[in-house]
Chain A
């Protein structure tokens, strides 16, 4: 949850957590850090589960060998952490480009889960109504591309056309003096505001093509999110061969239907 104070550069580094950008709208550069996406992409490129027990599961997706990873986003304060972590099933043998597409799809799916979490009682009381805040999903997309394309945050700020600090304050005060709560955005497209600052060479704001070159893969084809969040530990511990269906349900491969269930 960002606030007007986040526009001010932090000392001593001068890092600006929140700024308005000509092409990408408001960006929360804390959410645009690449760390989470890097962790996810590393798991995908490793094409293995992130713990030994899951690695031993014989799983297929649409008839092809697959692997399982755990991924989710969390929030925490005062000793309480709330996470949307779940299991995802991905076909093995995908190309680098296909893995990036799957990675973006999983990243966005998890981002939607997290934003919904922030809007769910009682967590909405803590998040202060920041669910699907105008800068959330755009910032997440920037973080993903930073990780996938090895783009530094300085370069991202230039790509997005970051405006000076004073102009960010002016736009905040003129258009969102009470914060972003009135500007929900459930898409990855930026919400743009009129600005007096136009970067050199830019006539009209256009979301940078470098931040839209990866198309999220469709769920159910090369990847699936499990309906029950986590694989049934009975499948994992018993090394039961399983087939994950496009809708995320799980069947034992000898033909006995057995839905996955949520585990504590």
Chain B
């Protein structure tokens, strides 16, 4: 673990030194290094506002990217009444349209049943709507995968 922490610090120091010397994007060996504090998945997720009166539980979590693992930004919120899920889903579908995302065709939907909408730009964005319910209510997980 210490090795990873020290390694990360070393890479950051080298990267930021190169940033000041060469700019935000530069080639290192046969790879491209980009200094960019932003997160495409998080930025996209933040355009999908949680409907009133619900409030996010905890912070937005971001994992990846790492190879074929997309960058995934995830948030959660609780819904006490399962019958509200349909309206919440409709709310997000409206936001998909407003944000110029496309709804999946049958093939894509069968591959990813919880997929709400997608957008293909330089990166591919997928919005995933995953409600889980039990006796005490429902938890909605909304994720954006960017790759």
A206: chain B residues within 8 A (beta carbon): none
Mark the stretch among A144-152, A185-193, A248-256 that contacts chain B.
A144-152
- Give B55-111 interface residues, CB cut-off 8 Å to A: 63-72, 76, 107-108, 110-111
B114–chain A nearest beta-carbon distance, Å: 8
Please report the number of residue pairs spanning A and B whose Cβ atoms sit closer than 8 angstroms: 143
Contact status of A78 and B68, CB under 8 A, knowing A146-B111, A150-B108, A151-B111: no
Please state if A125 and B11 are interface contacts (CB–CB under 8 Å).
Answer: yes
A188–chain B nearest beta-carbon distance, Å: 13
Please state if A126 and B130 are interface contacts (CB–CB under 8 Å).
Answer: no
Please state if A152 and B7 are interface contacts (CB–CB under 8 Å).
Answer: no
B12: chain A residues within 8 A (beta carbon): 78, 80
B14: chain A residues within 8 A (beta carbon): 122
- Give A202-224 interface residues, CB cut-off 8 Å to B: none
Please state if B69 and A30 are interface contacts (CB–CB under 8 Å).
Answer: yes
Give the docked Cα–Cα distance between A51 and B25 (Å). Answer: 19
A111 at interface, CB cutoff 8 A: yes
Mark the stretch among A34-42, A55-63, A236-244 that contacts chain B.
A34-42
Please state if B28 and A82 are interface contacts (CB–CB under 8 Å).
Answer: yes
Please state if A128 and B145 are interface contacts (CB–CB under 8 Å).
Answer: no
A39 touches which of B33, B67, B124 (Cβ 8 Å)? B124
Q: How many residues of A contact B (CB 8 A)?
A: 59
B49: chain A residues within 8 A (beta carbon): none
Please state if A125 and B8 are interface contacts (CB–CB under 8 Å).
Answer: yes
Count class of interface residues, chain B: 35 or more
B26: chain A residues within 8 A (beta carbon): 264
Please state if A79 and B36 are interface contacts (CB–CB under 8 Å).
Answer: yes
A125 touches which of B6, B31, B37, B107 (Cβ 8 Å)? B6
A59–chain B nearest beta-carbon distance, Å: 20
Q: B-contacting residues of A (Cβ < 8 Å)?
A: 1, 11-14, 28, 30-39, 42, 50-51, 73-85, 111, 113-115, 117-118, 120, 122-126, 128, 136, 139-140, 143, 146-147, 150-154, 229, 262, 264
Between-chain CB contacts (< 8 Å), 29 pairs: A12-B132, A12-B139, A31-B66, A31-B68, A33-B69, A33-B70, A34-B112, A35-B124, A35-B147, A36-B68, A36-B70, A42-B120, A51-B122, A73-B67, A76-B71, A77-B8, A79-B36, A83-B34, A84-B31, A122-B10, A124-B7, A125-B8, A125-B10, A125-B11, A136-B67, A152-B111, A154-B113, A262-B30, A264-B27
